[in-house]
Each structure stands twice: as C-alpha cells, then as structure tokens.
C-alpha cells in the first residue's frame, strides 16, 4: 500500500485500511527493536524535528528512538529553548524549520488544532503528538496494536474508558480508532468529566463503574488531568478514587482476563491503585514498548514508505 498523506494529524483523517497497514508495519518494526543492533537504514539522510511546546517524557523519547532506529537524524526543540518564547509566531517557526531542511516535525502543543495550522504552513510532514484536548493519534494506534496483540482482534470487543474524558486527547483519538475498528466503547466517569453530547461519537456513557466493569474486555484508565482543570470537577481526589479508582477489590467484579491499559503517566492511588498497576494484566509498559514500533511505522509511511517502495520496484 502507498500512503499518500503528507501528515498524521488525527485518527479522524485515517481510513480503516490505513490504520490496518500501520498496525501491520508496527509488527515488522517491533522485531527491529528486539535485535542486538536496533537499527535499520530506512530513513538514512532524513531529518526529524521534535517540537514539543508542552512537557512529555514517554512520547518525545518514543518518537526520538523510533526515528533513530530508522537511522534518521533527530533534533529536539522544546518550549523553553525555542524562539517561541521570544514571540516568534508558529508560522515563522514553520518557515524556519522548512528552511533548515527538516523532513518531518513531531509536534505537541497545548492548543487544539495548532498542529493543523502548522501543517498547512510547512512543507515537512507533521505528526500530531498531542494538541490540547483534541487528538493524539499515535497513542491510539499503539493502543489498538496492544489490544490486538492480546485478543487477536478489536472488532466486537467492549472497551471501557474510565476517567477524565473531557480533558483527554487520548480518549478522543481512542474513541475514533476503536469505533472505526468495530469495538464497542463505553465511557465511565462523573458527569463533570464527560463532554456533553459525546454520544454523537458513537459511544455509550455511564456514571457507575461497579455496575458495568464486569462487561468490559478492556478497561482503559485515564489520568486525572489536574493541571488542565480550571475548576473543581469532583469533590475530592479521595472520593474520585473511591468511586472510579481501579483497585484490586473493584477488579474482582471484572472478567478474569480483562486487559488494563493506561497511556501514562499514572497517578498511583488515584485513578489506579499501585497493586493493580503492577499486575500482569496491566500492560502499561507494553504500551510504551509498542509505541516505538508504531511510531517507526508512522515515520516510515510518511517519509520513507512510498519512496522506498518505488526504489525497490525500480530495482526489480
Ligand atoms: C497523555 C498525553 O499527554 O496526552 N500521555 C501520553 O502521551 N502518554 C495522557 C496524559 O497526560 O494523561
């Protein structure tokens, strides 16, 4: 398959076949990360810029490793050390990055839609690594991969997304990805953490975790994003943990082989208890591991895929 898009900005823009293709490629790239020498020459000579205008450890590192394992050169720009703090506009940052000859920009920004604006103003491919509460497509892709790895399918599974949906780009991208791939999605949280009319995205909503947890094949736990909440949306952290926190007691009501996922960073003792975070069914570190392979696949389809296939075909 030849991937024709310049950018990856949201799951919304992806066709089902494109998602399938990235998951399949992820499988082959995971093998590279398991080798003694974790490197292939696919993107040799390409330059990838990590532009993170918001803190991140795992996503930034994961993209950096993915690009390096494909032999690309990687440059990191963070909010603190960029000219954005000197008042440079995003448009001028885009022009500068183009002039420096970057082939791809991995961008995280606190405002929803910023990556779309940036992509319109730059020749390089743009990958959205999280824009405000909007989308975080590679997180959803690595989550699909992790679910498929465990169950062999996504179609027909029931996934419960529990927690701060309102502030979560991870939830939005996962809702889009999971429903596209045929899963049933139910959101569970206090009403103040669920956006109004979210049912229009094809999901169900419930406020009582204990009543529904037994129906889920996957419990996807979200972090309570205190840094994004401008008002008190629930009485106290302790009350939230009592009603919605995933602990061993609550887990007794779940299916025996339920898969527990979390995009990280986790707040032990709030949305997930420390004990649950460490049981084998909790695949939080597996998600991180799969993230590198999926991001390699995404870089490959945007930067190398079509070109490499063309060269390969010419040689035949
Ligand atoms: C998430 C994010 O930043 O959107 N983390 C991540 O990318 N792994 C979720 C979060 O911050 O809770």
Sheet holding 204-206: strands in order across?
A: 204-206, 184-188, 158-162, 218-221, 259-261
Task: Tell me how far apart the alpha carbons of residues 233 and 187 are, in angstroms, rounded to a whole number.
Answer: 17
163 C-beta closer than 6 A to ligand 1? no
Please, which residues have CB within 8 angstroms of residue 58's CB and are 6 or more apart in sequence? 264, 265, 288, 291
Task: Tell me how far apart the alpha carbons of residues 288 and 190 are, in angstroms, rounded to a whole number.
Answer: 28
Q: How far is the CA of 241 from the centre of ligand 1 (A)?
A: 19
Question: What per-residue confidence (pLDDT) applies to 312?
Answer: 46
Question: What per-residue confidence (pLDDT) applies to 234?
Answer: 76
Question: What per-residue confidence (pLDDT) applies to 79?
Answer: 72
Which of 131, 132, 137, 265 maximizes ligand 1 atoms within 8 Å of its Cβ, making it the mutation to test the pocket? Answer: 265
Domain co-membership, 157 together with 278 = yes
Question: What per-residue confidence (pLDDT) applies to 286?
Answer: 97
Which of 134, 170, 193, 270 maximizes ligand 1 atoms within 8 Å of its Cβ, making it the mutation to test the pocket? Answer: 170
Total number of domains in the chain:
2
Is residue 2 included in any domain, yes or no? no
Task: Tell me how far apart the alpha carbons of residues 287 and 146 are, in angstroms, rounded to a whole number.
Answer: 6
Domain co-membership, 34 together with 73 = yes
Domain co-membership, 127 together with 23 = yes
Domain co-membership, 124 together with 22 = yes
Domain co-membership, 235 together with 208 = yes
Domain containing 159 equals 137-284
Is residue 28 included in any domain, yes or no? yes
Domain co-membership, 235 together with 309 = no
Q: How far is the CA of 221 from the centre of ligand 1 (A)?
A: 12
Is residue 3 included in any domain, yes or no? no
What CATH number is associated with residue 155?
A: 3.40.50.1370
Catalytic (active site) residue 158: no
Q: CB–CB of 201/175 below 8 Å?
A: yes
Question: What per-residue confidence (pLDDT) applies to 117?
Answer: 95
Domain co-membership, 143 together with 129 = no
pLDDT along the chain (316 residues), means of 10: 90 96 95 90 95 90 97 88 74 93 96 95 97 97 98 98 96 98 97 95 98 98 79 80 96 98 95 97 97 97 68 49
Domain co-membership, 92 together with 174 = no
Is residue 105 included in any domain, yes or no? yes
Burial 34-47 (b: 16+ CB within 10 A, else e): eeeeeebebbeebb
């Amino acid at each position: 398959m030849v991937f024709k898009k310049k950018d990856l900005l949201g799951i919304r823009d992806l066709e089902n076949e494109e998602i399938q293709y990235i998951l399949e490629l992820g499988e082959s790239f995971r093998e590279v990360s398991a080798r003694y020498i974790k490197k292939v020459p696919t993107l040799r000579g390409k330059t990838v810029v990590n532009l993170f205008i918001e803190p991140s450890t795992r996503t930034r590192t994961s993209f950096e490793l993915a690009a390096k394992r494909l032999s690309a050169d990687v440059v990191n720009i963070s909010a603190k050390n960029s000219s954005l703090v000197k008042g440079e506009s995003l448009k001028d940052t885009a022009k500068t990055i183009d002039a420096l000859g970057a082939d791809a920009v991995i961008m995280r920004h606190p405002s929803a839609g910023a990556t779309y604006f940036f992509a319109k103003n730059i020749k390089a491919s743009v990958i959205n690594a999280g824009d405000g509460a909007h989308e975080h497509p590679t997180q959803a892709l690595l989550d699909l991969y992790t679910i498929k790895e465990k169950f062999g399918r996504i179609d027909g599974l029931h996934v419960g997304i529990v927690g701060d949906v309102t502030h979560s780009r991870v939830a939005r991208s996962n809702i889009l990805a999971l429903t596209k791939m045929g899963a049933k999605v139910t959101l569970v949280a206090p009403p103040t953490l669920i956006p109004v009319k979210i049912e229009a995205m094809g999901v169900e909503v419930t406020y009582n975790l204990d009543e529904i947890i037994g129906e889920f094949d996957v419990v996807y736990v979200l972090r309570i994003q205190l840094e994004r909440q401008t008002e008190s949306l629930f009485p106290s952290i302790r009350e939230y943990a009592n009603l919605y926190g995933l602990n061993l007691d609550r887990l007794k009501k779940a299916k025996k082989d339920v898969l527990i996922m979390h995009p990280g960073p986790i707040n032990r003792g709030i949305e997930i208890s420390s004990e649950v975070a460490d049981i084998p069914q909790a695949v939080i570190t597996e998600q991180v591991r799969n993230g590198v392979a999926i991001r390699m696949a995404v870089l490959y389809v945007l930067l190398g895929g079509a070109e490499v296939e063309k060269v390969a075909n010419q040689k035949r």
